[in-house]
Structure 1
Amino acid sequence: MTLTDTNSLTFRAERRPETYDPKQSLFVACLLTMSGGFLDAFTWLSLGGVFANSQTGNVVFVGMYLALAKWGEAFHHVPPILSFLAGAVAATKARAPLLCLWAEILLLGLITLWLRSYPELAIVGISFAVALRATSFRQVDRWKYLSVTVTGNLLRAFDQIALPANSEPVRGARTLLIICGMFLLGAAAGGVMATHWPGGALLVPVGLSTCALSFCYRRRTRTV
């Protein structure tokens, strides 16, 4: 046996099949990011101008109202920020993405029942549920993304574009720009639902997350 044959056998012995992780698929990222855009638009329009996802927006409002000495308006934006942080901590400690997605679905379903009666409590619950999902799903293929914002995803897309031209950066940029487009689509849908069917609007993100969860369970044993 020659040295080349030996090296070939060694390479084959060391090679392992890569595990396909559906949680990191573009399909799941698109569904969850569309849900993120939907919830931001819906909560801002229907729940007193407060964001469920965009804690940057809430922080801006807190700072602005504090500067204007409008203490009540400033405090109005604090609970979702704290709730989002609590959800992020819970998801980080749990390290169980599918369990966190289950929890988000159940929480949003329950909140639908008392959305109109207790809007202040609803936004706190939605922010917690969103944080569970967003903290647990932050990888699409080999690229990082966020399902609750566009800014970071746009920056990462243009980082890929700036790299030397080959198929990998192009694919990364295309993936991240598609995700940004899904956030926009979700926001448009959230605006429509907030206007025409606010009482049942949360069933849309529940449906999107349920589709993502079902996909993960059906595909998690597949290998490539």
Structure 2
Amino acid sequence: MDFDSASRTRSVAALLTLSGGFLDAFTYVGHGGVFANTMTGNVALLGIQIAAGDWARAARHIPPLIAFVFAVFVVHLLRLDAFAASVRRPALVCLLLEIAFLSIAASGLVGDSDVWLIPGISFVATLQTLSFTHIENLTYTSVMTTGNLRRAAKKLLEAFIPSYDRIALHEASLLGMAGFCFFAGAVFGGVTTRMLHDGALWLAVLLLVAALVQIGRLVRRREDEAAARSYGE
């Protein structure tokens, strides 16, 4: 099992989606009602606050939108042939960058200014969702939930109508798990942010490190199994 295959497992997707919900709750609860990941929410709130003439609050939603677009550009560049030789595992690079950034933010060594914190979180979270795009063979997103829930409902219907479909039911369970993990992460993030404020980010770091460790463990286990089979032959 290579890095890409290991990153598609249910356990890794659960940890990444927990972190996605956590970060949305963290920025919304702890940093002025701005979403880290949910750009739909930011666009809606931007429009609502502009309509109300609340320009100061509206402006808070613009930096994460810019960071989101910038992250899309970065991931696209990493996948170009010009970078392929030097960046062999862009998903791993993005995950390590996210862990590093959140660790710095959680440490408080450089302050907690929203000027860099919120767009920074949006940037690394977008790197995450664009780098880890599958549970098994299904596409999903680890930092928002609308698409996951819509497709889970569709797969659940397909599992029973017009006839029983075991594969569709399995796929519905995977996408439903992603939706639940995002919800659980948001609950966890909301509670701990009220208790620990920016220190709560250490918990998001732990979730991401756990995902990284799980990927490494799965890769090593498959290598050991392959070596054992080779030795047996």
How far apart are residue 85 of structure 1 and its match? 1.6
Which runs of at least 4 in structure 1 moved beyond 4 Å after TM superposition? 17-20
Q: Equivalent residues in 2 for 1:122-137 (5 A)?
A: 122-137=117-132
1:34 matched to 2:18? yes
Q: Which residue of 2 aligns with 1:56?
A: 40
Letter in 1 for 2:190: G
CA–CA separation in structure 2 for the residues paired with 1:71 and 1:88: 27
1:112 matched to 2:111? no
1:82 matched to 2:71? no
Tell me the TM-score normalized by structure 1: 0.86
Q: Which residue of 1 aligns with 2:203?
A: 204
Q: Number of aligned pairs?
A: 208
CA–CA separation in structure 2 for the residues paired with 1:150 and 1:117: 27
Cα RMSD between the aligned structures?
Answer: 2.1
Unaligned ranges ≥5, structure 1 = 1-16
CA–CA separation in structure 2 for the residues paired with 1:168 and 1:100: 32
Say if 1:18 and 1:120 are closer, same or farther in 2 by CA, change over 3 A.
closer
Name the larger-Rg structure: 1
Say if 1:94 and 1:220 are closer, same or farther in 2 by CA, change over 3 A.
farther
Equivalent residues of 1:112, 1:199 under 8 A apart:
yes
Instruction: Choose 160-169 or 137-146, whichever is displaced more.
Output: 160-169
Equivalent residues of 1:20, 1:220 under 8 A apart:
no
Equivalent residues of 1:47, 1:120 under 8 A apart:
no
Q: Equivalent residues in 2 for 1:173-184 (5 A)?
A: 173-184=172-183
2:5 to 6, 11, 21: 21
Unaligned ranges ≥5, structure 2 = 80-89, 227-233
Equivalent residues of 2:105, 2:198 under 8 A apart:
no
Identity of aligned residues (%): 35
Say if 1:74 and 1:18 are closer, same or farther in 2 by CA, change over 3 A.
closer
2:137 to 139, 142, 146: 142
CA–CA separation in structure 2 for the residues paired with 1:117 and 1:26: 34
Q: Which residue of 1 aligns with 2:167?
A: 168
Equivalent residues of 1:38, 1:188 under 8 A apart:
yes
Equivalent residues of 1:53, 1:148 under 8 A apart:
yes
Q: Which residue of 1 aligns with 2:215?
A: 216
CA–CA separation in structure 2 for the residues paired with 1:39 and 1:23: 20
How far apart are residue 42 of structure 1 and its match? 1.2
1:103 matched to 2:87? no
